[in-house]
A and B are shown apart, each in its own frame.
Chain A
């Protein structure tokens, strides 16, 4: 039964999850790939400078992982608080 308490708890858990995932999103794209890119360029993985790799490859892989984590975690939260679709 989806009681009002469970609905509220579900929403709070949802907002916490969003805060974590969006912090990573901002750190990777604006942090690693833009503001700290010059610094990260001092390190290399293979032929890539790290800052360049983040801007041209890495950030996109992280985006994909973030959405995957969101889908998986939300499906879990929906069931935990009993608000999933029938």
Chain B
């Protein structure tokens, strides 16, 4: 069977499965719609959290990013997993004990303030919309590359599926489809990785294989070979860092704290039955995530070695067929600058005189090949000449990753609107049925807006991802932590902290990404910290401002202090 038939078959089967599960687990009450009735088993919740969290970016883009960044790519690996330590230790058990449905819910009640609630609602909505647009775009790209339908049709099909199960099933439907989607995506990620690890190093475990020796009998370690290949072409050694360490640390911190502050991840911990279950579910979530995240750097190293060996000074007439296939999509571009009919892929920004002399002597006149990072995962099965069904599987996996994240985000948008905005701020006497209808309409509207952004993507999707993490890091995360760990923290302190954190972070990012993109390099950054890492400074500012303001304003009322006492221990104590 051809690649396309296989892809249609596997994607079609997986979609049928998701719809069937959603139909079997539709929601009947607001509690089921928002938090699946808080009855989800911790292991299931761990899988659902993993699928919720791992987006099109994790599945499609991350290994590619790492293979072009080398050791510095660790910022994504550590940033996007280290946040779970913070989540498990500092947030999940306490928010679960607090109960209720959402993050703005906690912020509003803990800081006895509608202003605090609204700031949290705005942050939750901003973060979620930013994210969801990227997911829909990912869906469109997968459809157009593998099923050869236009991007717009792909977005509409994907939207239809999400619409059906998010609007009908709410959190209950989403949870069990996400469990299925995790299984699909992890299988799709691991199969090619294991095949390639076996082929290149003779070791079926990718995590071990990329530290092993090459299977060609040379006895050379794969990573040494990769460093050597890179050096020949003027790239920095793959296994060493080039970014300033302070910036690397700031980005890692911002991603960690941002991860722990993302509303669609936090809300998953409201769905388990107990505090103990919330803790263990964070463990399962990280275990399921780490399976993919420890495989990604192996894929990155394998793919880069493969790629450099294939294209290094290769005659263009003899390139393998996958090269031509991806050229058609525009994600791979070759221009023969010196007209010798061979591919010169090298670092033409390298200013080392020895290297320049070597490049001139060889007649190189600039880098001739541009490679889109997203190719690395998507083209991997073709580069390694794996069977056609593996290619179809990767397409289904990428769709599972994008759809599961999109659904989780849509739910946050609909609960933030129906519960935190309508029920708690506008119409307090709304009936349960009315609220549920309101949540469904909000989810439906959000899906349509997301589809619009998927079809007409704003040019800045990539740029605004820094926003999502920066905002979450500088606003929600510190407000929740101080709410639990500092009983004296009051309304004035928390609101002032959130506003200062958000305004500072947003201004810095907008300044360098949109107002003066030409100045966006280390010479102009404050303390050498890039816009991607500035969320960590925003977080520190938030905390400092909150401490100072709370010192000079009255302490929180006694009933709020009781809330703090209550969330700190697992058992429900009766008041006399």
Where the two chains meet, the residues of A that have a C-beta atom closer than 8 Å to any C-beta of B are 2, 7, 10-11, 14, 18, 21-22, 25, 29-30, 33-35, 37-38, 41, 45-49, 51-53, 55-57, 59-61, 63-64, 66-68, 70-71, 74-75, 78, 83-86
Contacts and interface: CB of A to CB of B under 8 A. Distances in A.
Interface stretch (B16-24, B245-253, B326-334, B504-512): B245-253
B568 A78 contact: no
Interface in B57-107: 66, 71, 73-74, 77-78, 81-82, 84-85, 88-90, 93
**What 9 A-B pairs are tightest by C-beta distance, nearest first?**
A55-B74, A47-B221, A56-B297, A47-B211, A52-B239, A83-B569, A48-B211, A46-B211, A67-B283
Interface string B341-358: 000000000000000000
B282 A29 contact: no
Given A18-B90, A38-B240, A85-B570, A52 B71 contact: yes
Nearest to B300: A56
B223 interface: yes
Q: Classify chain B's interface size.
A: 35 or more
B222 interface: yes
Contacts of B572: 85
Nearest to B208: A46
Nearest to B238: A52
Interface string B213-233: 100000001111000000000
A74 B58 CA distance: 31
Contacts of A53: 211
A85 B223 contact: no
B5 to A, nearest CB: 37
B241 A56 contact: no
B570 to A, nearest CB: 5
B221 A46 contact: yes
Given A38-B241, A71-B280, A84 B570 contact: yes
B212 A46 contact: yes
A79 B147 CA distance: 55
B571 A47 contact: no
Contact of B276 (A2, A51, A78): A78
A60 B294 contact: yes
Contacts of B290: 60-61, 63-64
A57 B207 contact: yes
Contacts of A74: 93, 276, 279
Contacts, number: 140
Given A45-B211, A57-B207, A78-B571, 9 more contacts: A2-B571, A33-B78, A34-B249, A47-B210, A64-B287, A66-B85, A70-B88, A71-B88, A83-B571
A49 B282 CA distance: 30
Contacts of B252: 29-30, 34
Contact of B213 (A45, A47, A48): A47
Given A18-B90, A47-B213, A52-B71, A60 B81 contact: yes
A57 B279 CA distance: 23
Given A22-B89, A25-B85, A29-B252, A37 B241 contact: yes
B283 A68 contact: yes
Nearest to B274: A85
Contacts of A18: 89-90
B293 interface: yes
Given A37-B241, A64-B283, A78-B276, A85 B571 contact: yes
Nearest to A56: B297
A71 to B, nearest CB: 5
Interface string B240-265: 11000100110011001000000000
Task: Identify the interface centre among A2, A18, A29, A51: most chain B CB within 10 Å of its CB.
Answer: A29
B275 interface: yes
B283 A10 contact: no
A29 B82 contact: yes
B361 interface: no
Nearest to B73: A56
A70 to B, nearest CB: 6
Given A56-B297, A60-B293, A85-B570, A71 B78 contact: no
